[in-house]
Amino acid sequence: MASRRATRALQSSFKQLSAPTVQRRTFVSAINAAKAGAAAAPRAAVTVPFQQKRGVKTIDFAGQKEKVFEREDWPREKLLDYFKDDTLALIGYGSQGHGQGLNLRDNGLNVIIGVRKNGASWKEAQQDGWIPGTNLFDIDEAISKSTIVMNLLSDAAQSETWPAIKPQLTKGKTLYFSHGFSPVFKDLTKVDVPKDIDVILVAPKGSGRTVRSLFREGRGINSSIAVFQDVTGKAEEKAIALGVAVGSGYLYKTTFEKEVFSDLYGERGCLMGGIHGMFLAQYEVLRERGHSPSEAFNETVEEATQSLYPLIGANGMDYMYAACSTTARRGAIDWSKRFKDNLKPLFEELYESVATGKETQRSLEFNSRPDYREAYEKEMADIQGLEIWRAGKAVRGLRPENQK
């Protein structure tokens, strides 16, 4: 979430730099301004006091200055020249492997895929046009041909395969991750990187499918970049260039540790686990108080995802408040404080669980089991079977685009 907010702030900043005289502040002020023919107040939260040279922009995000790199500084010709002597071996072809791999290929870089022969990924890679013996190999062969090893196996598999992969990471190669998980929690994962190679990270802030779709739209996903080990003195530059090559639009500098802590925390919190828990709690109370499934679902999920959350995404929380009734605003402002106060201890507990490695331990244990796919599918079937999501299916079925 933070990164999306940051993007918006960044985009606002660039707009401010490149001209804008007026920006819409809120839904209501925009309407009022339009009515009155007057200009709405500009956004106050984001200010750009100065502009640095291209390539190293320091942007003021609500009072804190951060470094941001952008795609425009790495046009295709520059990328091709920069990586002209490199072979990029992308190991693993899940969601990120698919998105990053196809973007690298479309950018014209020398990229090959390494996956288990005849596994699900092997077949998927072939379906995407990767050719066995040409640019599709088993993992060991791909690594042996490469200068840059992009480890996009599942995090559990990175740990499992490390004893076989580590000896192949010889001096001169670069090791790339899209998550800080393996090296940061090395006491648990056993991924202790060789001391004589560059180790870098590009972590797209979204699914691999979005990495691909935004690239195809000519935009680019936000990604975090970080350096774990810089042997050549070029590690950061390489991370930025690779970030652009895999399809990022803006790149935000962080550390491996901060990336993995915030990512594990966010997905367990507001992004996935927390929001699912809030939906369930609200729905259950409505049902226990006699409301129908459709009313409970509409008031909990449908209005959120279809009406209000997109407003937050487009222009911020104040914009969403401004689009709602005075009654709704009063109650929401009051109750948001109570929710925050009650939930903050839980978020503290969650962060602690991430920082101490408890979440990593659980993830490694669960996802390394031979039957992890079946166990996961059973949990998904349980979720699908919950009344709230069955009611949701019926509500979505009424949308015009879902009617035959």
Residues that bind ligand NAP (CB under 6 A): 92-97, 115-116, 119-121, 152-155, 157, 160-161, 178-179, 181, 203-204, 207-208
What Å distances lie between residue 15 and 98, 338, 372, CA to CA?
A: 33, 36, 47
Assigned token pair, 304: 């959120």
> Minimum CB separation from ligand NAP for residue 102, in Å?
13
Minimum Å gap between C-beta 112 and ligand NAP is 14
Q: At closest approach, how far in Å is the CB of 369 from ligand NAP?
A: 12
- Closer CB to ligand NAP, 94 or 293, in the complex: 94
Report the number of secondary-structure helices (H) and strands (E) in the chain. 21, 10
* AA identity, residue 229: Q
Q: What is the DSSP letter of 399?
A: S
Cβ proximity to ligand NAP: between 12 and 161 the closer is: 161
Per the annotation, where are the binding residues for Mg(2+)?
263, 267, 299, 303
Residue matched to tokens 């009406």: 307
Nearest approach in angstroms of CB 209 to ligand NAP is 8
Q: Please report how close the Cβ of residue 138 comes to ligand NAP at its closest, in angstroms.
A: 10
Read off the tokens for 324.
């709602």
Terminal CA-CA length for the chain: 35
**Gap between the Cα atoms of 169 and 298, Å rounded:** 53
State how far the Cα of 237 lies from the Cα of 239, in Å rounded to an integer: 5
Q: Which of 47, 45, 44, 50 is nearest to 60 (CA)?
A: 47
Q: Give dist(CA 22, CA 42) in Å, integer.
A: 6
| C-beta of 110 vs 154, nearer to ligand NAP | 154
Strand 148-151 with 88-91, pairing = parallel
Nearer residue to ligand NAP within complex by CB, 27 or 185: 185
Q: Output 26 or 360, the one with its CB closest to ligand NAP.
A: 360
Helix (H), strand (E) at residue 17? helix 2-18
Sequence length of the chain is: 404
Distance CA 207, CA 221 (A): 10
Identity of the residue, 12 or 248, whose beta carbon is nearer to ligand NAP in the bound complex: 248
Q: C-beta of 157: minimal distance to ligand NAP in Å?
A: 3
* Environment class of 160 (CB within 10 Å of its CB; exposed 0-12, middle 13-18, buried 19+): middle
- Indicate the annotated binding residues for substrate: 325
Catalytic (active site) residue 179: yes
Which one is catalytic: 98, 179, 276, 291? 179
Active site residues: 179
